[in-house]
Every structure is written in C-alpha cells, then in structure tokens.
Amino acid sequence: MKPPGGPIVAIALEFGFFPEITPLNPRFVAGHRRLKLTLDIETLAGPSGLAAGMWEALRAAFPLLSRHRCGDHRTEETFAAGGHIRTPSRTDDVEIAHLLEHLVIDCQHEIAGMKSCSGVTCAYKIPRNRFDLFIESPGPDVSRLCVALAMALLNDLARGAPADPVYAGVVALARRFHRSLSDQVSGAAAARLLGDERRARRALEFLRDVGFIEEFDACVNFSAVPLYIVTGGLDLRSA
C-alpha cells in the first residue's frame, strides 16, 4: 500500500537532542531524544477552512487527539531553526503542520506507550511554506513510521478523500509488533486483531512498505504462509 503524494512533502528527517528548541515548550523533557521533521506544505495562502475540515476528520478517526494540550501562547508556531522568525497566522499551512505534529505525537504514544510526548511546530520566514517539527521520540523506527502514517493520512484528507480506517489499523498492528519485537505475526493473526481481513492485509502492506516490518514465507504443512516481523527483529531472534 503506497499512498499517492500530496501537498505535504517531507524535506528531511533527523534525530538528536536539539537543545536550542527546548525553551519553546515547557513540557519538553530534558535529555529526551527528539525527531526533527522539515516539510513543505503547498496550500492556498489564506484561511480556506481546509485545516478545520481535516481536524474534524482526524478526531473521528483518532478520538484521543482531543486530549492533547497546546500552549496558550503561539510561540511554538513562530520560531524555526537557524533564527528564522515568523509572526503567527491562521493560514491553512500553519494549521496543517500543527495537525501533523499532533498526529505523530498521538501515534507514537499509542504504539510505544510513551508516558509523555511533547512537540513544537516552527514556521520559516523564508520560504513561508516550510516548517520544522520537533517531537520527542521513542526511537527512530517508531518515529519514522508515525511520520509516514501522518503524512499519508493528511495528504489523503488534503486531496478531499475521507479518513481511511486502515491507518487506525496500522497503529494497532504496530503496537502489537512493538510490544513483542521478536514475535512472528501471521496475516490471520492480524485479521483477528483488526476484525477485518482486507484491512489487516492493507495495514500489513503499509507497515512493510515503510520498512517497519519484514515479510517472509514459512513452510507450514507444505504451504507457503507469509509471516511478518519487525525490521531488525530477525537479529533479536537470532541473537
């Protein structure tokens, strides 16, 4: 399952501590490794209402998004790495970047069971459609998956498509894999977990295509049965 592109384009994804952005969010945990996602968002320059519709669709697909807290001030949307500063505005590109931050946080929390996860959305002055997102990370594999999932879902919504329920299935399966890194999971087991064989197959394909799991064949009663394991889990199993 390889989703088509859209107006949200990832420029770079890095991992580090980025201490220079710690003052931007008082809920950041000192010494917690963070991801830095740089992205461009190509939307209309004004408040078209696109982001508001996307937010409602996201809350229906991921109800726990409503529990997130944002600072009363909007400094999290006015600073960017390298000293760029931009006055806060309510344009769709700012709101969509902020939505992406919240969706990554929610997915990471659900998959990795993080006790807390905070982030900050930073807008560039030039170019005005570029953003840096800094988010506390439970590890590169989970963070890369959550970024890919969030971008795929928001690009779907930006194109006018409904929120595909497969993405909630991706989170549920990723949580299952993350909790038992060396366990093999069959397609049948995934279908039982999600209660839908087709949705499970599509969710497994997404996890495989972004590199979170590996697919391999196992001989059971002379039949090739595909099994799945977390990428790198083979090393754990053989260690």
Q: What is the pLDDT along the chain (239 residues), one digit of tens a residue?
A: 455 568 899 999 999 999 999 998 899 988 899 999 999 998 654 445 677 788 888 877 777 665 655 543 333 333 334 444 444 455 778 888 988 998 999 999 999 998 889 999 998 988 888 999 999 999 999 999 999 999 999 999 888 888 899 999 999 999 999 988 778 888 899 999 999 999 999 999 999 999 999 987 765 544 456 888 888 543 332 22
pLDDT value, residue 235: 34
pLDDT value, residue 63: 72
Domains and CATH numbers, the chain: 8-164 (no CATH), 167-238 (1.10.10.10)
Pairing of strands 223-230, 119-123: unpaired
pLDDT value, residue 170: 96
Whole-number Å distance between alpha carbons of 75 and 71: 8
pLDDT value, residue 143: 96
Q: Torsion-angle region of residue 206: left (phi > 0), alpha (psi -120 to 50) or beta? A: alpha
Which residues are 213's β-sheet partners?
230
Which alpha helices (H) appear in 34-139, and where do they start and end? 50-61, 92-112
pLDDT value, residue 103: 92
Sign of the C-alpha dihedral computed for residues 64, 65, 66 and 72 taken in this order: positive
